Structure 1
Amino acid sequence: MALAKKQEFSPNNSAVTARPFGFKDKLGYLFGDFGNDFFFILVAAFLMVYYTDVYGLNPAFVGTLFLIARLWDAVADVSWGRFIDTRKPGKNGKFRPWIFRMSFPLVITGVLMFVHIPGMSTGFYEAYAFVTYILWGTLYSTVNIPYGSMASVITSDPVERTSLSSFRALGGTLAGLIINVVGPMILFVNNKADANHFLVGAIIFAVLSIACYMACYKLSVERIVMDKTDKPNVNMGQTIKGLVKNKPLIWILVASLTFMICFMLIGTVNVYLFKDYFGNAKALSMVGLIQSIAVFIGMPLVKPLVAKFGKKEIASAGILLSAVVYGALYLLPNLTATQFIGVLSIAMFGYGIFNLVVWAFVTDVIDYHEYLTGLREDGTVYSIYSFSRKVGQAIAGGLGGYAIASVGYNQTLKAQAQSTLDGIHTLGTLVPAIVMVVIFLILVFLYPLNKNKTKQLAIDLAEKRKSK
């Protein structure tokens, strides 16, 4: 099948002449993940403790809820990505309009997750949690899939795409800075989760989130578009055949799934680690602040490092650094909260570097899919990638709840048993160290697109497009 023609916007094929790629695009893309992560990070870091300590739900039940909901989210991601790839671009592009349309119901549902009606039965709280959380996750797919797919049509330059990846990570980091630093100050009262404070926080973050989505919509431009005379390709068989052959995609899926398991587990366990093991939930604010500072330090370093060494090489080094530091923290169980955070900051820098680079891998595997099949299916390939991350979230969500329950956490106790506290410490240190070593090995030995191969892919693909 012939490769669909890709072209820049011009007076000949659009009513509007696109400005050159520049800072406004980077800023717009930053705002997209800024908006996404107001609720994503809030949910990842604090929803479990809200369900256990406000709704009074068993952590194992919450783990089951997270597992089921996120597996459904993964299916929703792929379905929505495929749906978008069957749509023709409009005057505002193919992906941007969906961000505008679906962001409003998304943030409203996000607020509803944190509504607490006092005096209801456990069964009511369980049902309410199921309905609102699953609905929020489904709507999240309708915004996040077009947002993530959009990077590959904003620019075709590999270095510029790395820059978009870095700005995306910066957007998430800024949201994390607000959620993780300000969040514990709002959400906890006397070291306990407070229902009214959670609702106020959700409303504040909803307003900020919708403002960011609108900024993303206004500032970004889709430049690479399918010729409007061509019909969108719907040959699912050819798509699947290309996906199976796409080794870079397969291994970045595995690495991303594994990273999400690790990252989400850390987010879940950290709340209990500082609230119960260190007896200081407010210290989570310092963790969030240092995590953001680590990314801010790493951000200007990523582009020159990637240009010199390559994405694969830099991401591998960052994740290995984190693995070593988490292993050291496991061997130092008697640190104070402040000392623990000080050492942890090095690990956060390491996986911050990894996270700054990882989104740029996606545009490479989209290009590789086009090289293999002649099909430009940004939404489908990105949704497959997002699917793997959602599966990782599902597994981590389930594991987080089951793990907290397995070490004996009892939400009715004022103080947890020492064996429970020791178990929480192991979950927050040794387990991440092991998982990050696995990610390092995947990147080094199994992911095939190193610096030189990525450059050659861009050259080969450009030549292939010209020949069509």
Structure 2
Amino acid sequence: MDATETHAATQKNDQAPRTVTLRNKIAYAVGDMGNNFLFDMGQLYLLNYFTDQVGLPSAAAGTVFLVAKIWDAFADMGVGTWIDNRTNISKRGKFRPFLLWAAIPLAMLLIANFTTPNFSVTGKLIWAYVAYMLFGTCYSISNVPFGSMIPTMTRNSQERSELASWRQAGSNMGLMLATIGFMPIVNSMTNEGTGYTIAVVVFAVLGVAAQWFSYANIKENYSSPAKAKINKKDLKASFKALLKNKPLLTLSIVNLFTFSAFNLKLTVQVYYCKYILQNTTAESLLGVFSIGMVFVSVMLAPLLTKRFDKKYVYMMGCAIWAIADILGFFFANNTFLFVFFTAIAYLGDGFTSALNWALVSDCVEYGEWQTGIRSEGMVYSFFTYFRKLSQAIAGFVPGIILAWVGYVPGKTQTATALMGIRGLMFLYSAVLSIATIILMYYAYSLTEKRYGTIVSDLLKRRGSERIEPAGGR
């Protein structure tokens, strides 16, 4: 479909009423900023905390991530099924209350991950497994409902893209502040281990405040009657419907690629700054410039999707990402070039991140159109199942590779170890970005033109649906 056809299809899809206020969008962004204050501590610093502070072998520490994230993936599916089939839905909505209920337990479990008792190595590993798996389960209870809300907030395609961009802006603000602010707090303490704990407490408190602000200022504009109690036959039919949703399957697989690449970069950049650049302040610079570049793509994404199909904007982002990382592998030998090439890579990644939530919302409509079964929570949790698998890979692969190349915590690294760190930082993500382009081009069929037809058909089937006035509760 050419740009003119895409533009016409997009305009048609935008005819659905706009139901989200600026206040709602800001609150949705702040909610994901809070999610990232709580979540990114594990992705950014926990592996390094395990290896350099707790003293766990790198392969064993990486295995903690593998096992915990696979557990989380199944937890997401369970939470999604539970949410979709809740029968006691209050005036607060189907999804919003989970932001209120889960915030405090989530913060406490995050702190527990960075306060490992002085046990034996075996005892420390047991603590790491239990604390991280409980944290992941609680995070699923908070995050699956949060991500499932977009289809209940608006039916307007462009407004969904805007909400996805606002969400990504909040996510990146959380990541930026975590990257900039965490290590200075750690380094200000005489004991680095204590510094980790204090820094985590600070971000945990901020995360709870952000999630509660989000809860108070977002709204589910589309509501439906509570479902009758689910039976095994209906549940089986819902899972079969997910497996028939080819756009959802494709989007989930490419997220396995892109999200593992993104999270692996977050994990490895600590080692890259410390051992290749020998400049720990580079991580704060990376937060300012690299994560800052994601805001550029987040602002550009809604503008580009007005003219071009979301699918092709997504692929364009991956192309930028791959080129920047290939160049970074060969030339990022000092702080300036490292930050420069990583910033361009994050610019490309920002397009994929900004559009993921709009695309998965489109997959909800596609699934209902195809099978007659609408299940926002299950679709979202199926999608996040693959994202959790990607996080498992992102935590496991560095630990295994670091052990394989002979990494020794706190020591001068061998040339082989340094090359392993460099390859993890750049080549892994470049290869997976290219794989994403290929898969999206050949397998993702939900274009704007097709989506417009699907929405029209669904509206005819539904006849009418209740829309509550936009605004906060």
Matches within 5 A, 1:8-407: 20-88=19-87, 89-118=89-118, 120-188=119-187, 194-228=192-226, 231=228, 234=231, 235-332=234-331, 335-407=333-405
CA deviation vs aligned residue, 1:380-439 (integer Å, no higher than 9, x gap) = 11111111100111122111211121221112x521112211221122112211111111
Indicate conservation of the 8 Å contact 1:322/1:350, yes or no: yes
Indicate conservation of the 8 Å contact 2:331/2:337, yes or no: no
- Structure 1 residue aligned with 2:470: none
- Identity in percent: 31
Deviation at 1:28, TM superposition (A): 1.8
Mapped partners of 1:362, 1:450: distance in 2: 13
Q: TM-score, normalised by structure 1?
A: 0.91
Partner AA of 1:287 in structure 2: L
Mapped partners of 1:133, 1:61: distance in 2: 14
Partner AA of 2:22 in structure 1: F
Mapped partners of 2:39, 2:141: distance in 1: 14
Partner AA of 1:374 in structure 2: G
The verdict on how the C-alpha distance between 1:459 and 1:291 changes in structure 2, with shifts beyond 3 A counting, is: farther
Indicate conservation of the 8 Å contact 1:99/1:217, yes or no: yes
The answer to which of 216-225 and 447-456 deviates more is 447-456
- Structure 2 residue aligned with 1:462: 459
Mapped partners of 2:330, 2:457: distance in 1: 49
Stretches of structure 2 that go unaligned for 5 or more consecutive residues are 1-17, 466-473
CA deviation vs aligned residue, 1:197-248 (integer Å, no higher than 9, x gap) = 11111111011001111111110111211125x5265511221221121110
Deviation at 1:20, TM superposition (A): 4.4
Deviation at 1:26, TM superposition (A): 0.8
The verdict on how the C-alpha distance between 1:435 and 1:80 changes in structure 2, with shifts beyond 3 A counting, is: same
Mapped partners of 1:286, 1:115: distance in 2: 27
- Structure 1 residue aligned with 2:416: 419
Indicate conservation of the 8 Å contact 2:295/2:350, yes or no: no
The answer to which of 107-116 and 73-82 deviates more is 107-116
Q: TM-score, normalised by structure 2?
A: 0.90
Deviation at 1:451, TM superposition (A): 2.5
CA deviation vs aligned residue, 1:294-325 (integer Å, no higher than 9, x gap) = 12222222112111102111111011111011
Indicate conservation of the 8 Å contact 1:269/1:424, yes or no: yes
Mapped partners of 1:138, 1:287: distance in 2: 30
Stretches of structure 1 that go unaligned for 5 or more consecutive residues are 1-18
The verdict on how the C-alpha distance between 1:193 and 1:387 changes in structure 2, with shifts beyond 3 A counting, is: farther
Mapped partners of 1:267, 1:438: distance in 2: 20
RMSD: 1.9
CA deviation vs aligned residue, 1:416-466 (integer Å, no higher than 9, x gap) = 112211221122112211111111111122111123222222222222222
Indicate conservation of the 8 Å contact 1:158/1:458, yes or no: no
Mapped partners of 2:187, 2:276: distance in 1: 16
Deviation at 1:188, TM superposition (A): 3.9
- Structure 1 residue aligned with 2:12: none
Q: What secondary structure, in the 3-state scheme, does the structure 1 residue paired with 2:54 have?
A: coil
Partner AA of 1:124 in structure 2: G
